[in-house]
Structure 1
């Protein structure tokens, strides 16, 4: 049945992460009910599982929502047995959280503790407001030096967008592309040199996967089999590569905020807002569907702007 879930996910062009998430929660649901087949269950069993996640497991609102979406997808799209209204479902209350933001000096201090390719990754995430996966999946063709822009393909929600390419990163990025070109040349000489392509592009454009344009800007250090042919391809670097390097650099810099590499994206938006960039432009650069999502950064700025504590005037 989980194979059927994967088939429907891929038919609808859902991201691999969404597919993995759906399979994870559906498996948890089945084990929770003693490995009963979902065909023999329905709304009451789904309610019991989701309420267990909230009351016994104390999961967050977002995790419970993930599980709910997975099970609604299972019954609506795979089993074609819609759940209907679930009156007994107890939803976890979503908390309003302000994102962690680094000051410009803190960003500079952390980047100063990083070197090599991982530093370039972090600089690009801060300079262009990229998510980790968006940075890792950049391809050579997505960089437009003449226009000074990055083309982000299939970002969150399978959306494309255009964002900034900082001028200070032109030179290091060109050096990185030279290294990618040299590595690609070596791979081709050993019968490899493929880059995995999305959807059915490999069949539509058979030679595209061997072209430099489709290679990842930050390639993996190893080759792996790809597709039915089993030919060796070079995927992109793992997200954990830059995540681990950022944590270590943050600790060396003596920054005690609970900041991850994703905090660079929050800092990008907040610093643009502080420089006077309008909120609509920031929404487009970040790729937010709703302006309400972007408005959270105004709270970070406006709460303390031009306000002095009364303690300072004592």
Structure 2
């Protein structure tokens, strides 16, 4: 009987349950099938949020493969880190605002915004409406928006990106209401200027080598070799691969733009093997119960590969796109071509890769060597 120990921990300020066990592929593969589990590559540990529901779920999940689960460490004890306070509770939506929100959704769709953007703006505007209901507000004011921003976003520890989404959504709603948003002076906070995480070529090769499933290897290889966003990869159709010109046609990408990106000769060999085995008809990557593969499934593929590879960086699917751009720049590719391949509207977005290339840093002489 395998022993698994559940211990209390913290990750990014949140209380978690760490799942500790001796290296065992059976346990690892079983954990991958557990919803909401996460993997911390910095210390090679699996974890879930520390809740009584998760404790019960993970206990029964591990018992299915006959594990002895030791959760004695999770008995109540004083914590040496702050516990997150009870989330801000919003009142339910009333019928008037529900109909208003439906009209707002239709107005956004008429503007031909992407479905993802529409869903985001409608969701955050719904939160703002419910907040206003709780405050019994009779009109929308700058102070009301600031109060919502502080109590529902800042105090709840939500990210700057989410805060910007909320402000964008509220601004769109005010435009829908024909309000002068200039008078409200709604300003979005500046994002943190973080450099992207980049894998070396050796790390990318290792990642693909430990991905044994041909479909999974092909998907990860496509994202890296074409510098694609995951949404672009899973929406790619068989006819979008132009093997004669060695190009991939990306249609209706971010900003509703089409573009071409590179088709690698080495990747084409993998792609042909994949096509012969899976025989996709329309979309290149078909889901089991849907026309396309899901983003969550792609994320699981990467998470499993990272766990096997031993890479300790914080890697996401977008890291492969960052790595593609950085390696092109290190190979001497003009940054204007890289901008076109990535589909960036502004060269400023592409310029961030000049800060993470190895060559630009390695050419600098360290003054310590002159001592």
Asked if the contact 1:151/1:161 (under 8 Å) is kept, the reply is yes
Asked if the contact 2:167/2:188 (under 8 Å) is kept, the reply is no
Q: Which residue of 2 aligns with 1:155?
A: 253
Q: Please list the CA deviations of residues 41-76 of structure 1 after superposition, one character each: whole Å capped at 9, or x if unmatched.
A: 244322322243554233333222111111111121
Q: Distance in 1 between matches of 2:319 and 2:172?
A: 31
1:66 matches 2:165: yes
Structure having greater relative contact order (Cα 8 Å, sep ≥ 6): 1
Q: Distance in 2 between matches of 1:297 and 1:38?
A: 47
Residue 303 to residue 53, structure 1, CA distance change in 2 (3 Å)? farther
Q: Aligned ranges for residues 275-314 of structure 1 at < 5 Å? A: 275-301=331-357, 304-311=361-368
Residue 144 to residue 271, structure 1, CA distance change in 2 (3 Å)? same
Q: Which residue of 1 aligns with 2:52?
A: none
**Residue ranges of structure 2 left out of the alignment (5+ in a row):** 1-99
Q: Aligned ranges for residues 152-231 of structure 1 at < 5 Å? A: 152-178=250-276, 181=279, 184=281, 215-222=282-289
Q: Distance in 2 between matches of 1:20 and 1:38?
A: 25
Asked if the contact 1:163/1:285 (under 8 Å) is kept, the reply is yes
Among 228, 245, 252, which residue is 2:301 paired with? Answer: 245
Q: Distance in 2 between matches of 1:284 and 1:297?
A: 14
Q: Distance in 2 between matches of 1:173 and 1:132?
A: 17
**Residue ranges of structure 1 left out of the alignment (5+ in a row):** 185-214, 223-233
Tell me the C-alpha RMSD between the 2 structures: 2.4
Q: Distance in 1 between matches of 2:179 and 2:200?
A: 51
Asked if the contact 1:21/1:70 (under 8 Å) is kept, the reply is yes
| Corresponding residue pairs, total | 270
Q: Which residue of 2 aligns with 1:132?
A: 230
Q: Please list the CA deviations of residues 260-314 of structure 1 after superposition, one character each: whole Å capped at 9, or x if unmatched.
A: 1210000000000000001000000000111001000001126522134444566
Displacement over 6 Å in runs of 4+: 36-39
Asked if the contact 2:214/2:274 (under 8 Å) is kept, the reply is no
Residue 27 to residue 179, structure 1, CA distance change in 2 (3 Å)? farther
Q: Which has the higher strand share?
A: 2
Residue 252 to residue 38, structure 1, CA distance change in 2 (3 Å)? farther
Q: Distance in 1 between matches of 2:156 and 2:106?
A: 30
Q: Please list the CA deviations of residues 149-195 of structure 1 after superposition, one character each: whole Å capped at 9, or x if unmatched.
A: 111111112211111111122233234445565x65xxxxxxxxxxx
Q: Which residue of 2 aligns with 1:108?
A: 205
